Amino acid sequence: MHPLITRLITDLGWPLLDSQEALDAFTAQPGAHALFVPGDAVRNLETADVAVILPELAMAFQGRFDCAVVGDTVEAGLRTATGVLKTPGVIFYRAGRFVGGIAKVRDWDEYLSRITQILSRADAA
């Protein structure tokens, strides 16, 4: 696992969702949830970028969502189920339901705009 992804788990305390049961339990909790889908960090250099950007986004949104890292064992199924196929990706859930996703690395302003839209949909649900 890439050191920046390990940091999310060990230093920031984000759960590693490495089974379907863990994924389902995390996304079913109250509130909005951002799932970081890293993909292959060796082949995709953008993975490290998103591993740095996502904690900053979580702070910018002042607790409107919590975060977790998706493990290899459930990653492919999650990407297929949500249609967010490219990695790295950030997939948003509320109350066990998929509400939106952002694939690949983006500009800061685009992240802010898209996450605001996704959270608005999640709040309306």
Domain ranges within the chain, ordered by starting residue: 3-124
CATH hierarchy code of domain 3-124 = 3.40.30.10
Asked if residue 26 has pLDDT above 70, the reply is yes
Which tokens go with 49? 């970028």
Distances (CA, A) of 91 to 111, 115: 12, 10
For the cut 70, the answer to whether the pLDDT of residue 125 exceeds it is: no
Other beta carbons within 10 Å of 108: 11
**39-98: pLDDT as tens digits:** 988 888 899 999 999 999 999 999 899 999 999 999 999 999 999 999 999 999 998 999
